[in-house]
Amino acid sequence: MRGSRNQQGEEDVQTPFLQISGTQDPPSFSVRRLRFKWLVWGLVGFLELTFETGVAMRTTPLIASYKEQLCTKASQDVDKPIISCQKDHAIASELALIIGVFQLLECLPMLLLSGVYGSIADKYGRRSILFLGYLGLVLSSMWTTGVVWLVPRVPLKFVWIGPVFTLIGGGASVPLAILMTSAAAVAPSTQRVSVFSFIHGTALVAAILGFGLSSATMKSLGNYAAQLVGLGLMSSALCLSLLLPTGEVAQSSASRPEIDSASEYTNISGSRTQPINSRHAVIRSFHNLLQIRGAIPLLIAGFFATLGQRVQILLLQYMPEHFSISFSEANTFIILDHVANLLVLFIGLPLGNALILRWRSFNSCYKDIALALCSSALSLVGALILSFAPNVTVALFGIIVFGTGIGLSSLLRSIFVGLFPPERAAFATTLISTIKTVGGTFSGPVYSYAFALSLDLDRMLQGLPFIVSAASFVIVASVLITMVKKPRVRRDISLAILSFSWLAKYLQTISLVYHMFLEMGQAVAQYSRAPRRRSKPFLEPSRPALRALVALDLSVFLASNST
């Protein structure tokens, strides 16, 4: 953005002459900086809303198109009507396989290339990497839409080629990270949490709008039209991403330290100039990881928490298959799930946080563990209700309960980062994010196999995927319970006990020394009162001689003082 960079240069030249002091900005500069901040936040929110709405609009119509094409192919092979294919378990198993493998292939670029593209964005600018990230996702969506259109002439499994295009840009996690970094770069450090909550809330609102619009579009225009509308919204976000400012402008020299502390990319770029050995630093970091009690179990909990929460995507297959409803009606359950997520994130978690801190004298670690236990328990109960739901009403209640456990992921991240010293917070955040990406990568194949197995078992374990999800939350709760029994914060208590025991030993030692000196004094007193033998009386001076010696010493002392 050449014009903005020229404007930045002009402002840097004019700022020293306009500033009254070294710590205050002139009113005109403050107004420009405030406008620039709201411009960046507005564009970030609009891009997130537009792109995520398009993604949500395409999700359900794409799954419905997959099943429709599979059903059409099966009907042509065995000469049976399409309506009878809707309850065919072989078709449902193949659909679960296609979606699971596609989800696995989508997560691999994020796992392998997100760090690479983050470093490139740090070096060459965020706007270009944001454009590349959106471009790869749009090309992948175009490919899957084209395969659905040409599926009579090409195999449906060709949709697995679509995630290859996400190698351009690193997958869906890179644009989200770029948007969060751009929004946080123009905000003070005290507002970063609010910025992240704003972006997360915008994504949830976009999902609610997208699934709602897809239901209306599918009923009136069909599956393919809903996919095209969603693709159009994603393409619009791709074009608008070129308007995003870089995020480094409109800051005075006095305010740069605050912005640098608020931007993780700036810190990373600054640390890259330090002459350190990266291989030894990584080895030392992982060695320190093994020394921190509770770090490895929390990483395991983060993996299983992500695995358990990713069962949500199966609602679009599970509800139509077991309750004989349409895909557009199944969208309603996804919308309710996201509404529950939104309410919990912005009302439930802050309220629970305030109540725990008010009623119990917990520190931040205990508070996060208590909230995480509640979230895992709610997710566990919701998954069990969904696995054994006899009708749609009970399943609806289970979805709402399951959605209230959405805060588990953020709470586990907070607990894990709290185990590390402040200078290692970036390493801890990157590590827990990578583990969650691994959990999302394995979730596709795990749940596709579990869903296919549940169809083979028929009525015995029809909710097997949700039982797997419930088992994941049991593991998470077990790890958190062990943290409650011997958490990191107990070290403070143990140090206090150790200090008191050391003080007791110190006082005991002083008492022992006192009694020892007392006994020595008593022994000396007894010895002085005892009768003594004068074996050599000629060596002992007489009393007059002693008096003469003392008088001599005093005379010498007085004479020396007078001189």
**Is pLDDT at 494 greater than 50 in this prediction?**
no
pLDDT-above-70 percentage for the chain = 67
What whole-number distance in Å separates Cα of residue 431 and Cα of residue 303? Answer: 11
Two structure tokens written together for 503: 């003080």
Closest-CA residue to 193 (of 92, 289, 262, 268): 262
Mean pLDDT over 352-380 rounds to 81
pLDDT at position 497, please?
36
pLDDT at position 552, please? 40
pLDDT, average across residues 454-480: 86
Amino acid residing at 404: T
pLDDT greater than 70 at residue 462:
yes
Looking at the domain 29-267, which fold is it?
A: Growth Hormone; Chain: A; (1.20.1250)
Regarding pTM above 0.75, the answer is no
For residue 511, what are the contacts with CB-CB under 8 A and spacing of at least 6? none
* pLDDT of 229 higher than 90: yes
Lowest mean pLDDT among 19-33, 161-175, 444-458: 19-33
> What are phi and psi for residue 116, nearest 5 degrees?
-65, -50
For residue 261, give the amino acid letter: S
Is residue 254 pLDDT above 50, yes or no?
no
Which pLDDT value is given to residue 441? 82
Architecture per CATH, 286-513: Up-down Bundle (1.20)
pLDDT band at 540 (very low <50, low <70, confident <90, very high): very low
Question: Whole-angstrom Cα distance, residue 563 to residue 115?
Answer: 86
Q: Give residue 218's identity as a one-letter amino acid code.
A: M
Helix 392-403 crosses helix 327-343 at what angle (to 10 degrees)?
Answer: 30
User: What pLDDT does 103 receive?
Assistant: 85
Token pair for residue 98?
């296609």
| Maximum average pLDDT range among 174-188, 490-504, 506-520 | 174-188
Cα dist. 210→33, 118, 234 in Å?
Answer: 34, 28, 12
Instruction: Compute CA distances 23 → 187, 190, 254, whole Å.
Output: 17, 18, 6
For the chain, how many residues are written? 563
Q: How confident is the model over 98-121, as a mean pLDDT?
A: 84
Higher pLDDT pick, 462 / 259 = 462
Amino acid at 52: E
Q: 29-267 with 286-513: one CATH topology?
A: yes
Are 91 and 71 in contact by the 8 Å Cβ rule? The answer is yes
The domain limits of the chain are 29-267, 286-513
- Tell me how far apart the alpha carbons of residues 61 and 215 are, in angstroms, rounded to a whole number: 9
- Show the beta-strand stretches assigned E in 395-535: none
